[in-house]
A and B are shown apart, each in its own frame.
Chain A
Amino acid sequence: MAETKKYWKGLEELSDSPVVQVLRENEFASELPVDRFLADDKSMNSSATSRRDFLKFLGFSTAAAALAACEAPVVESIPYVVKPDNLVPGVPSYYASTYFDGVDFASILVKSREGRPIKIEPNAQALINGSTNARIQASVLSLYDTQRLKKPLVDGAEADWSALDRKVSDSIRSATASGKSVVLLSSTVNSPTYLAMLEEIRSTVANFRHVSYDALSVSGKLDACEKMTGMRALPVYSLADAQMIVGVDADFLNEANGQSLTADYGKGRKPSAEMLRHVQFESVMSLTGANADKRFRILPSQRAAVLSALYNAIARRAGQQGVKETALEAELAKSVAKTAEELWNHRGRSLVLAGGGDYTSEMLALGISRLLENFGSTLTFKYRNQLRTGDESALQGLVNDLKAGSVGVLILDRCNPVYDRPEMAEALSKAGLLVSLSEHLDESASMAGAVAPAHHFLEDWCDHQPVQGYFAMQQPVIRPLFDTRSTLESVDRWFGLGGKSALGRVKDHWLNGRFAGNVDRWNEFVHDGVFVAFDEIMALAEPSASTDPTLMDGLTFSSAGAQGLELAVYTKAGMGTGRLANNPWLQEFPDPITRTSWDNYLTISASDAKEIGLENTTQSNGALNGSRVRITTAQGKVLDMVPVLIQPGQAKGSVGLAVGYGRTKAGKVGDGVGVNAFALLTGAEAQQQFLSGVKIEPVEGEHEFACVQLHHTMMGRDIVREVSLGDFLNKPAKDGGLGWNERTEFETYAGPMNADKVNLWKDFDHTTGHFWNLSIDLNSCIGCGACVIACHAENNVPVVGKDEIRRSRDMHWLRIDRYFSSEMTEEVAEEQSLGAIEKFRLMEDPSENPQVVFQPVMCQHCNHAPCETVCPVAATSHSAEGLNHMAYNRCIGTRYCANNCPYKVRRFNWFLYHDNQEQFDINYAMNDDLGRMVLNPDVTVRSRGVMEKCSMCVQRTQYAKLEAKKAGRMLKDGDAVTACAQACDTGALVFGDANDAESKIAAAKKNDRMYYLLDEVGTQPSVFYQVKVRNNA
């Protein structure tokens, strides 16, 4: 309808000339046919780039450049394609497992981060050995030992598993065919699955037998137990029920036949009227002897004599017949009689432990226990102890067979006879085929024709039965790092048992056996790591002790008084029998008694040393040197170049030498460290663990020790406070200056004031929020050093090597100071009216038989910290939670803080310890890629030139706080615990928030025994100590 009337704009339009038509068409831009244009290769190639194209290209390239710049370089990190459900980066997982290397046994929790096991922690659910000692704490590092066997070896050359299996099974077959025997030699085995498998083999291979032995044999003890109870098993001790313990050469705190007594010992030593009394008779100053209330020095050969004297004294009281007795010195006889009297007063609640592994001592100890009616209370045979089952006579039989050439195949499992039974080396070479199941190419494995590399225990499945009715599960926490194989699997293959995997075999054993197909119970066992067959235990009865009147006959007493000295072999807390000799943490661990690392040595009394002309000298840089000797035994065995360390408390006429050192094929770390004491032992001497008639002659040269504590006494200072039990019970702690635990007071214008009140500083407010405190009970601390290694592992503390330790540059954040008492005291000096110079000179010398105290010292987290004020860059500062922090990034390394620390707990990175191939090439702990896997990702690895120190495991408290926050609850006591407190099974270390009135730490802080170290300096530490109470009745 609309009229299409058209208005033209000019005459040109009206005329509609071609020019107008073109102009009209071009008035609005038509869409460019980009697609067609781009698709047309020909025109693309021929056409020049237009402005629009240019802009497009510009836009594209700008965007591309911008995007490229956003991209961070990714260095060899591969994210999970499918993330495992139970693995959250940054969150640790814990797996229950079990450690058993034939010597130490423990139920443990393994802390794993991003798939890497990084820390061993005690399993609180365990009823037996749920605690970790230094060796077990350190065992995780051995997983990352680069010198482990990586491939099977056949005749010394790398081979694949099938070749090895073929060779071994062929040999077994041919041995069987030719009537030769097939023997599996191992250390103590207590795995039900393993033992069942051996049983299975025995049923199919008639000439198969299993022989087990213990590096430090207790075969004689087992014989004694067998005679006493008819059961070849050691007793299980229940120290918790004892009020008195007597150790006769028994280092039971370090090693009690595989059973850990430390937790009960710690509990028993809590000061009260009921406090456990501990008397020790020994030759070498042991960890146990150092903790005794009363320690008597005896010669090793007097062990049986002391025990028989005790026996007779008690038998007289019990109206029973005595045994043959050898005379003791009057002084010692009196002490023994007194001890016997005390034991009699504690009958039924006492324990007498004998050292060594010989029959006589154990028989006497058991006899005493029987007289004291301790059976069934403090020691029991009810649960068959399977932690030490080695049989020396069977081993001797094997040696005879080997020499006769009747052993076709000898399989070595978790044992190293060439090292710990050097006399066997020759016999071993006579085996048709020697097969080794070993983690390292050790002394024995390197003799073997076939070496089957075994898993590290954290890679392997196994189960354990330490005592009857009590089971422990060993589950792997990481895939095998190398081409290794489980022992269960290897043995299975060789004997043609069906090729079951280790897991399959263990699981079958349980599901087909005790769990009767109940997978839930299996899962629960694996989860908990422990399983107690209560039904079985309830059914067990205490075996009746033998009433045979001839029981005590036929005891053989070693004759003392032979020419020369007596040499006792012992184990050090850090090294045990040398299984973990290639572990840098353990090598660097200072022995609790001698404070010397990276060595073993002949311990000798000062008077004997003087007689022979041996000495220890301090070098100008503080390093300790010692004479060297040649040891010649009565059998003519010789050990040369043995360093000598003068040991207070060593019985005169005796010397001590630790086993576990002198390895030659342990790996780069352990090789050539110390001398091999096993080389001196033969037969009966190995049983009693000492040698008589040893000749010691000085040889040329000086040995260089790596000793971290050169000064042995407290110099009359108020460092470790000590009180007798009597005073503790009857006298007040604070009594106007006369109490046994007074605070330092200063006279001021405003009257007497405590050190923390006399200050010019503004106090931090620690009444709100958290206030992290650590209590150290000097009464419970036995100095074992589990905490030292736990701290090492938790906080990525570097290993620095022997030379650096010699230069007093140990890096341990937590050290355990050990002080010996001295004959010279303030009182004695006054009595003899000695001058100060003479007094202090004599104070430096420890007594011949000193009392020993241990004092763990770490950063005291002073609330008025001398270190904090002096740092020019404020790299060390105080937290609102009572901690003294280190900001490593800020530290420029002036070392002023370390100088000004009265406790000397600060450690400086003198070199680049975590990447120091040049100086510390043997140390894999932090120095190679594999060794670095053990590092705790929550703790910074410190660089060169930076000061470091105990952080009170701040990463743990932070983690606990965050967890509580996420869960929306308050932090509970026990949520956060430091690595040291966690590792301490005597309960000496208690950590917590002192502002939490309900906490254990708050109670400890109010304890009468609480005191601050160097209170008078006014540092107001967050760490405090509890006075040691000595039960010297």
Chain B
Amino acid sequence: MHYEAPVREPLVLGNKSYHDVTVEVAKPIETAPPRSWWIAFSISLLLFLWGVGNILYTIGYGIGTWGLNKTVGWAWDITNFVWWVGIGHAGTLISAVLLLFRQKWRMAINRSAEAMTIFSVIQAALFPGIHMGRIWLAYFVFPIPNQFGSLWVNFNSPLLWDVFAISTYFSVSLVFWYTGLIPDFAMLRDRAVRPVQKHIYGILSFGWGGKAKHWQRFEEVSLVLAGLATPLVLSVHTIVSMDFATSVIPGWHTTIFPPYFVAGAIFSGFAMVQTLLIIMRKMFKMEHYITIQHIEMMNIIIMVTGSIVGVAYITELFIAWYSGVEYEQYAFLNRATGPYWWAYWSMMTCNVFSPQFMWFKKLRTNLIFTFIISIVVNIGMWFERFVIIVTSLHRDYLPSSWTMFAPTSVDIAIYLGTIGFFFVLFLLYARTFPVIAQAELKTILKSSGEEQKKHHSEHDGHH
């Protein structure tokens, strides 16, 4: 049984009735997209196609079209990979962890957060593929029976763990997301007037009938999947961090990486959710559902995780000094004062200093400020990965091999291409999927007989 203290602010504002929720959630799907959507979609599509072109160029000519070299074997590719995976964390955290913790406020945002997860994991998954010198042999990384004798994958390799972690995470997230979508698709099916639309939503809703048994199964599956997804939130980025932590490169070989990466991932994920939702609530006029309270809650999480990340940064520096390992000491000194000092200080400013503003209620409830900080945080998190990868590699053990890295136009195009791809997916989603988990949301509508009567009388008054 759920008990809610009466002093608590309602999670959905505007005295919505169930019907209002239905109508408002279905509205973007049932109406023609506005001009702004078309503009955003066109830009995203162009970026996406530009990215695709550059990916094909890379595959056609070789990884040499990127700015990598003998010393820096990974740069933007893996930076982007980790960045996108990190962004993908918020969705699962919101829908699974907050579900388990019975945080009802998640209901207005979990659908879009999960969509963001799926779409960003798709972007992330691109990079381990295209960064391979011979992508046409990518299937070698799967432990599939083969004709090469007893040739098996190397289970020692963190890259292989990545393959498992990412694919597990992606499939569980997808199933979880889809499960939540079923009653909402059914709602759309029931409202659809055009037969094609009705048919499609009919298929998508898996014959949902809204029976008690259906609801019971739905609840159970959601809970089970939430249970499954929760450890994944921690495991995925833990394993991604092991790509670095298990290596011998100073600046990578750090035991703090798993928690630090997870915190960072949640941090960047929430920032991305902020960026998307602030735009979406404005565009789709969903201020009553995605309220300032939501924004504030997420800002608090950003502040907390940002501070955890900050502590991790400082711990790294301390441990480098404390370890007495000259290579490690130099690696961290070089991060802060070497040729890539600007990347390090961008990271520090964006990730550690900027979230501290969220201590002030006025700032954390300010939409414009939140929006700016959410972008700043994601820039900072991109730099974090860049700093970890490039500044550690470019000056490792033997100074004779020290060099620098600069991206080529192809590096940039592929990165922007994934941003384009992400928004193509997200914009399509926003026009075809119920962006708020309305079935769930209806369970937290505060409705009483009084309200209902008031509503009706108001409604009648119009006639």
Q: Interface digits, A828-840 against B, CB 8 Å rule (1 contact, 0 not)?
A: 0000000011001
B157 within 8 A of A: yes
Q: Determine the chain B residues whose CB is within 8 A of the CB of A1019 once the complex forms.
A: 248
Q: Determine the chain A residues whose CB is within 8 A of the CB of B330 once the complex forms.
A: 715, 840
> What is the bound-complex CA distance between A870 and B152, given in angstroms?
14
Q: Interface digits, A36-56 against B, CB 8 Å rule (1 contact, 0 not)?
A: 000000000000000000000
B402 within 8 A of A: yes
Given A719-B399, A908-B63, 19 more contacts at CB 8 Å?
Answer: A620-B404, A715-B330, A719-B398, A819-B400, A866-B247, A869-B154, A870-B247, A872-B153, A891-B133, A892-B138, A894-B131, A894-B132, A895-B63, A898-B73, A899-B74, A906-B70, A910-B68, A911-B62, A943-B134
| Contact indicator B74/A837 (Cβ below 8 Å) | no
Within 8 A of B (CB), among A942-961: 943-947
Contact of A903 among B62, B63, B397, B402 (CB under 8 A): B397
Q: Top 10 nearest A-B pairs by Cβ distance? A: A893-B133, A945-B133, A910-B64, A622-B404, A895-B73, A621-B406, A622-B403, A808-B69, A817-B400, A904-B401
> What is the bound-complex CA distance between A902 and B151, given in angstroms?
27
Q: Interface digits, B372-416 against A, CB 8 Å rule (1 contact, 0 not)?
A: 000000000000000000000111111111111110000000000
Q: Determine the chain B residues whose CB is within 8 A of the CB of A809 once the complex forms.
A: 64, 69-70
| Contact indicator B400/A910 (Cβ below 8 Å) | no
> What is the bound-complex CA distance between A915 and B101, given in angstroms?
60
B232 → chain A, closest Cβ, in Å? Answer: 20
Closest A residue, CB atoms, query B154: A874
Q: Determine the chain B residues whose CB is within 8 A of the CB of A896 once the complex forms.
A: 73-74, 157, 159, 243
Closest B residue, CB atoms, query A806: B69
Q: Interface digits, B106-143 against A, CB 8 Å rule (1 contact, 0 not)?
A: 00000000000000000000001001111101101100
A307 within 8 A of B: no
| Contact indicator B398/A808 (Cβ below 8 Å) | no
Closest B residue, CB atoms, query A818: B400
| Contact indicator A894/B159 (Cβ below 8 Å) | yes
With A621-B406, A711-B402, A872-B154: A910-B137 Cβ-Cβ less than 8 Å:
no
Q: Interface digits, B152-193 against A, CB 8 Å rule (1 contact, 0 not)?
A: 111011111001000000000000000000000000000000
13 A-B residue pairings within 8 Å (CB atoms) = A621-B404, A709-B401, A715-B330, A719-B398, A808-B71, A819-B399, A870-B246, A892-B140, A893-B133, A902-B248, A902-B396, A908-B63, A1019-B248
Closest A residue, CB atoms, query B401: A904
B152 → chain A, closest Cβ, in Å? Answer: 7
With A715-B330, A872-B159, A872-B163: A909-B401 Cβ-Cβ less than 8 Å:
no
Contact of A892 among B68, B134, B394, B401 (CB under 8 A): B134
Contact of B134 among A874, A893, A907, A1014 (CB under 8 A): A893
Q: Interface digits, A680-712 against B, CB 8 Å rule (1 contact, 0 not)?
A: 000000000000000000000000000001111
B186 → chain A, closest Cβ, in Å? Answer: 42
| Contact indicator B337/A837 (Cβ below 8 Å) | yes
Within 8 A of A (CB), among B247-284: 247-249
With A872-B160, A896-B159: A621-B399 Cβ-Cβ less than 8 Å:
no
| Contact indicator B398/A857 (Cβ below 8 Å) | yes
Within 8 A of A (CB), among B59-104: 61-64, 67-71, 73-74
B137 → chain A, closest Cβ, in Å? Answer: 5
Taking Cβ atoms with an 8 Å cutoff, the residues of A that contact B are 618-622, 709-717, 719, 804, 807-810, 815, 817-819, 836-837, 840-841, 855, 857, 866, 869-874, 890-896, 898-900, 902-904, 906-912, 943-947, 1014, 1017, 1019
| Contact indicator A717/B403 (Cβ below 8 Å) | no
Q: Determine the chain B residues whose CB is within 8 A of the CB of A621 once the complex forms.
A: 67, 69, 404-406
Q: Determine the chain A residues whose CB is within 8 A of the CB of B337 once the complex forms.
A: 837, 841
Q: Using a Cβ cutoff of 8 Å, how many contacts connect chains A and B?
A: 187
> What is the bound-complex CA distance between A709 and B404, given in angstroms?
11
Closest B residue, CB atoms, query A873: B140
Closest B residue, CB atoms, query A816: B400
Q: Determine the chain B residues whose CB is within 8 A of the CB of A891 once the complex forms.
A: 133-134
B428 within 8 A of A: no
| Contact indicator A836/B73 (Cβ below 8 Å) | no
| Contact indicator B63/A893 (Cβ below 8 Å) | yes
Closest B residue, CB atoms, query A844: B399
Closest B residue, CB atoms, query A899: B73
| Contact indicator B154/A873 (Cβ below 8 Å) | yes
| Contact indicator B133/A944 (Cβ below 8 Å) | yes
Closest A residue, CB atoms, query B158: A870
A-side interface mostly:
loop
Q: How many residues from B make CB contacts under 8 Å with A?
A: 58
Contact of B157 among A618, A808, A869 (CB under 8 A): A869
> What is the bound-complex CA distance between A618 and B395, given in angstroms?
14
| Contact indicator B133/A904 (Cβ below 8 Å) | no
Looking at B71, B151, B333, B401, the one whose CB has the most chain A CB atoms below 10 A away is B401
Contact of A912 among B62, B69, B398, B400 (CB under 8 A): B62
With A808-B70, A815-B400, A909-B62: A869-B137 Cβ-Cβ less than 8 Å:
no
| Contact indicator A870/B157 (Cβ below 8 Å) | yes
> What is the bound-complex CA distance between A620 and B71, given in angstroms?
14
Closest A residue, CB atoms, query B327: A717
| Contact indicator B404/A910 (Cβ below 8 Å) | no
> What is the bound-complex CA distance between A893 and B138, given in angstroms?
10
> What is the bound-complex CA distance between A713 and B334, given in angstroms?
16
A648 → chain B, closest Cβ, in Å? Answer: 14
Q: Determine the chain B residues whose CB is within 8 A of the CB of A944 once the complex forms.
A: 62, 133-134
With A873-B153, A892-B140, A945-B62: A904-B70 Cβ-Cβ less than 8 Å:
yes
> What is the bound-complex CA distance between A911 and B68, given in angstroms?
12
Contact of A1014 among B64, B153, B397 (CB under 8 A): B397
With A871-B157, A903-B398: A895-B62 Cβ-Cβ less than 8 Å:
no
| Contact indicator B70/A908 (Cβ below 8 Å) | yes
Closest A residue, CB atoms, query B63: A910
> What is the bound-complex CA distance between A838 and B307, given in angstroms?
30
Q: Determine the chain A residues whose CB is within 8 A of the CB of B151 once the complex forms.
A: 874, 890
Q: Determine the chain A residues whose CB is within 8 A of the CB of B160 once the complex forms.
A: 872
With A817-B398, A869-B156, A895-B133: A900-B63 Cβ-Cβ less than 8 Å:
no
| Contact indicator B74/A895 (Cβ below 8 Å) | yes
With A715-B330, A872-B153, A1017-B397: A622-B134 Cβ-Cβ less than 8 Å:
no
Q: Determine the chain B residues whose CB is within 8 A of the CB of A869 once the complex forms.
A: 154, 156-157, 246
A716 → chain B, closest Cβ, in Å? Answer: 8
Q: Determine the chain B residues whose CB is within 8 A of the CB of A713 once the complex forms.
A: 399
Q: Determine the chain B residues whose CB is within 8 A of the CB of A619 once the complex forms.
A: 404, 406
> What is the bound-complex CA distance between A713 and B163, given in angstroms?
40
B329 within 8 A of A: yes
Q: Determine the chain A residues whose CB is within 8 A of the CB of B440 once the complex forms.
A: none
> What is the bound-complex CA distance between A710 and B329, given in angstroms?
21
B326 within 8 A of A: yes
